[in-house]
């Protein structure tokens, strides 16, 4: 299956300039003319589709229904990638380059990179629908680590999460009611309180146990979130790499380095010369 590219305006202008060459091979001229003529057809279709006219459709029973749905946009002009490759091969050859120069055309404008630049791969609406249907945002990325690639939860994972949540709720309720009943029984039987006082003490005990369980659950969830954040930070550091930039040098060192570079660029003549002074003894003048 050949690759189809969308024909940009700059490539269309390049093709139109090439069609002026008289010695262009026929196996290239014919498909290039067809590709250039697509733009004219597309413009005509676009002009026709501008005024949206309501069409009435008559059914077999005689009922009239208005069709107000706009017509689909015309397809963009396209060109085959194989044609561009054959064109670049001919233009970079000795024969093609000489013919382009004779017609005052730049052969560098017909290289493969120059022809393909600015183009996009054309996909039909059916192909776009298939690609969008195949895309899954929850699909794990094979090019990312497991801690950075979101994986869709499986049925077993969801079941274990649900059972863990239910067991936590049941344990909290059991501890609340168990503590309340135990305090009530101990207050009415062992301590000798009345039933009203026993119920009050049991309710207070259940409230205290419920508050304690709630605090424990909040602490546990906070630790889980911290662990997830630490794993994410660790993964981000691993992805950024281990290279570190050296700290900037002080201004004095920078100025000294600049001065050394200026001296080195000036050449050996700019280096300071070392002068040594020699001392000589002064002769005593003889006075006759």
Q: At 78, phi and psi to the nearest 5?
A: -125, 165
Distance in angstroms (rounded) separating the CA atoms of residues 82 and 3: 8
pLDDT tens per residue across span 202-226: 999 999 999 999 899 899 888 888 8
- pLDDT for res 122: 86
Average pLDDT over residues 273-287: 58
Q: Give SS3 for 52.
A: coil
- pLDDT for res 66: 47
DSSP state, residue 110: G
Q: Which residue has the higher pLDDT, 191 or 120?
A: 120
Q: At what angle do helices 94-102 and 81-91 cross, to 10 degrees?
A: 80
Average pLDDT over residues 46-64: 45
What angle is formed at CA 149 by the lines to CA 143 and CA 150, rounded to 5 degrees? Answer: 145
Of 27-36, 50-59, 73-82, least confident by mean pLDDT is: 50-59
Q: At 79, phi and psi to the nearest 5?
A: -150, 150
Distance in angstroms (rounded) separating the CA atoms of residues 54 and 137: 40
pLDDT tens per residue across span 118-169: 888 888 888 888 877 666 655 666 666 665 555 566 777 788 888 888 998 8
Closest CA to 79 of 27, 115, 109: 115
Q: Which residue has the higher pLDDT, 111 or 70?
A: 111
- pLDDT for res 207: 93
- pLDDT for res 137: 59
- pLDDT for res 279: 62
Average pLDDT over residues 52-79: 57
- pLDDT for res 288: 43
What percent of the chain stands above pLDDT 70? 62
- pLDDT for res 181: 92
- pLDDT for res 274: 62
| Cβ atoms of residues 12 and 36 within 8 Å | yes
Q: Report domain extents, the chain.
A: 4-47+74-134, 168-237
Q: Provide CB contacts within 8 A for 182, sequence distance 6+.
A: 205
Of 116-125, 187-196, 264-273, least confident by mean pLDDT is: 264-273
pLDDT tens per residue across span 217-252: 899 888 888 888 888 787 777 766 544 555 554 454
- pLDDT for res 51: 45
């Amino acid at each position: 299956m050949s690759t189809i590219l969308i024909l940009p305006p700059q490539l269309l202008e390049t093709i139109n300039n090439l069609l002026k060459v008289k010695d262009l091979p026929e196996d290239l001229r014919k498909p290039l003319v067809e590709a250039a003529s697509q733009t004219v057809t597309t413009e005509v279709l676009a002009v026709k589709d501008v005024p949206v006219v309501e069409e009435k459709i008559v059914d077999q029973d005689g009922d009239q229904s208005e069709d107000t749905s706009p017509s689909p946009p015309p397809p963009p002009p396209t060109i085959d990638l194989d044609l561009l490759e054959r064109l670049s091969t001919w233009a970079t050859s000795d024969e093609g380059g000489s013919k382009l120069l004779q017609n005052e055309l730049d052969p560098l404008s017909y290289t493969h990179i120059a022809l393909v630049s600015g183009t996009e791969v054309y996909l039909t609406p059916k192909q776009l629908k298939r690609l969008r249907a195949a895309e899954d945002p929850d699909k794990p990325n094979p090019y990312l680590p497991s801690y950075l690639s979101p994986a869709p939860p499986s049925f077993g994972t969801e079941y274990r999460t649900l059972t863990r949540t239910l067991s936590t709720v049941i344990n909290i309720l059991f501890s609340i009611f168990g503590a309340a009943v135990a305090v009530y029984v101990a207050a009415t039987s062992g301590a000798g309180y009345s039933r009203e006082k026993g119920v009050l003490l049991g309710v207070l005990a259940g409230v205290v146990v419920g508050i304690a369980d709630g605090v424990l659950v909040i602490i546990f969830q906070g630790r889980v979130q911290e662990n997830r954040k630490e794993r994410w930070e660790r993964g981000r550091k691993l992805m950024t790499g281990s290279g570190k930039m050296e700290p900037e040098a002080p201004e004095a060192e920078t100025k000294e380095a600049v001065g050394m570079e200026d001296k080195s660029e000036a050449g050996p003549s700019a280096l300071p010369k070392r002068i040594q002074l020699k001392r000589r003894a002064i002769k005593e003048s003889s006075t006759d």
